[in-house]
Structure 1
């Protein structure tokens, strides 16, 4: 935009464009996007039905297991997802399968206690544990233990389980387990252990699956992972997929980590990172800290005296007298009941009416007189003081 100055000169004023405004706000835009993504991810992870959680039966993401559930359904396996302990027991009692059928338990957050694991074992004929923790292992198997995390790789079953004869190469990503029990069946060997260990616990068969990568949507179509998953979970026409929740914790048990939803921690991490980023950004913008000396307290009389010396040194008698007049006019307005915005003429008229003085003489003292030397300056200052005293006496006579 071009503008013309009063003297005829022209100049150009640049109006901020949308792009410039966005560039200045890019930090806040990026921060808002990160927070929105974090909240969305937290809400997905926190879904109680398994949608969004790793190996969730309703999760269609690469880490979920929705594809496996659909394949099992097409093969005639009725998959029922439960999220409560008592609901799971009720389901096992109504399957029509002696011993309760096959139960897949994915207790990733460690909600179940030892008594609950043992009760599940008495109700189900086949327990399939997906990457179980130490509580489940100690309650059901005694001597099966986790040995290492497996980040990648494939292996052949290399065991005597008839159900796995159709599989030759299976993804072993997940957790490796091992067992010293003589009757334990160990399959899917890797350098650190086995991707599957199966033991008998009374009348219940317990299968510990560490190679959970083979069950995920992203891997089930690779190698023989689909055959492995169907052989593992398709033995019975009724399959219960149990996802324990915080509601399953016995009264008085549980820690802060187990009682809070799984989306709380990532949300707090996102907020913390956003706060740190904001502090770093604002700190760099403000610059380094500077230590300032405390201000010195100066008395009002010293300030007044210092100004007087400056006026005297520069010979500004008129300016000095104007400062005295301004103060006098303000005090006269207050004493006579006028507002702080009253004009000089209004003040002169009010003072003249109270003191019976000549308005022209009052205006000469309050506005027009211009001192030519210090003696006249002092005389006019005294006149202002006398006028103020006379007005006070007229307003409030003793």
Structure 2
């Protein structure tokens, strides 16, 4: 069996060029760019100033409230954004003004809500949860979400004196509190509820859609927002954070920064895209018919030449011994799992040969050169012939 070198037409091997390497790496470059953009975007979403969050005072997206802050500023209202309870209370001590609280993550507890209510005379709550309602707006409870729509004020609140149609998208509240002012009615409840105990006026605003950038310029939403939040020259916009949680409280969801979930989503999508790309790159399996059939004798001869080239005479002789052991075991009636000692003992009994000489030929002999290898191979053949004669019927 002759081994020939590949011709120049079929065996050409070339070094990849820089262009080819860049072409193969373009997928990973695009993936890295997408991940970088995703991380940058999610970091913006997690900004503590409200940039990127729904109704965030620094969010310029349709769901943000940056336009409202600018409108208030043009009307002479100084808007200050705080992110901790301590900073908020310090700000309120410096001057009496309106306090707007957007606790979308539910960080504050009852005592903290009550401290806020006593620190200001005008408290506005954006879509508050049960903790806030139980603490500072008893008798008001969440009824149902409101997808869209507008409503007439239908109440005598000063905040709606100049408004005729207001966006009520957000949350509707049910009211069971004597003296409460119910405004912006919908099928499920009210979009604005006002309670005044003589010391602090609490406005529960569920119709938060009117404050967003996408709606502030439509209907009478701007007039409504100015009347609700522009009654004082100072507005404190409080966005509670995880640092406000009392010691020992908080869940994994509340303690996790807002940018973690979208970051994990981006990484998951990138991983799925990579698996799909890598899984499809080789295409479907194709069955190819071999051009030739290699005979067993050629394979044996090729392996023999490899043994010869590497000088592995002992290994070549062991391959012959393995075949001889199998044939001797079958010829003498032993099982295929018979040990070396069992085969040697059976063959010695049949041929009256010295067991030590048989073991030397079958196991221990180590040929020093090719001539001794051929001699030992012949000895194995002679031993097989002698065993066959011994077991043959006379």
SS at match of 1:72: helix
Matched, 1:115 2:115: no
Matched, 1:85 2:98: no
**RMSD between superposed Cα atoms in Å:** 3.7
Select 2:227's aligned residue among 212, 231, 237. Answer: 231
Residue 215 of structure 1: how far off its partner (Å)? 0.8
Matched, 1:381 2:370: yes
Residue 238 of structure 1: how far off its partner (Å)? 1.8
Q: Is the 8 A contact 1:107 1:243 kept in 2?
A: yes
Q: How does 1:197-236 map to 2 (within 5 A)?
A: 197-201=193-197, 203-236=199-232
Q: 1:25 to 1:74 in 2, by over 3 A?
A: same
Q: How does 1:2-21 map to 2 (within 5 A)?
A: none
Which residue is equivalent to 2:150?
154
Paired with 1:237 and 1:31, the residues of 2 have a C-alpha distance of 49
CA deviations over 1:167-226 (Å, ceiling 9, x no partner):
111111111112121211111112222211111245211101111111111211111110
Residue 320 of structure 1: how far off its partner (Å)? 6.2
Q: How does 1:284-295 map to 2 (within 5 A)?
A: 284-285=280-281
Paired with 2:102 and 2:44, the residues of 1 have a C-alpha distance of 18
SS at match of 1:148: strand
Which residue is equivalent to 2:64?
64
Paired with 2:133 and 2:120, the residues of 1 have a C-alpha distance of 16
Q: How does 1:135-284 map to 2 (within 5 A)?
A: 135-201=131-197, 203-284=199-280
Q: Is the 8 A contact 1:106 1:129 kept in 2?
A: yes
Residue 385 of structure 1: how far off its partner (Å)? 9.4
CA deviations over 1:214-250 (Å, ceiling 9, x no partner):
1111211111110000000011122111111111111
Paired with 1:214 and 1:67, the residues of 2 have a C-alpha distance of 11
CA deviations over 1:276-318 (Å, ceiling 9, x no partner):
33334434456799xxxxxxxxxxxxxxxx979944xxxx9xx
User: Alignment length, in residue pairs?
Assistant: 304
- Normalised to the residue count of structure 2, the TM-score between the two structures is 0.67
Which residue is equivalent to 1:44?
44
Paired with 2:20 and 2:198, the residues of 1 have a C-alpha distance of 72
Q: 1:87 to 1:327 in 2, by over 3 A?
A: same
What are structure 1's unaligned runs of at least 5 residues? 8-12, 290-305, 330-379, 387-398
CA deviations over 1:5-30 (Å, ceiling 9, x no partner):
989xxxxx9x99979975x6675455
SS at match of 1:273: helix
Paired with 1:52 and 1:321, the residues of 2 have a C-alpha distance of 73
Q: 1:6 to 1:251 in 2, by over 3 A?
A: closer
- Normalised to the residue count of structure 1, the TM-score between the two structures is 0.67
Residue 118 of structure 1: how far off its partner (Å)? 0.6
What are structure 2's unaligned runs of at least 5 residues? 1-6, 286-295, 314-368, 376-394
Residue 55 of structure 1: how far off its partner (Å)? 1.3
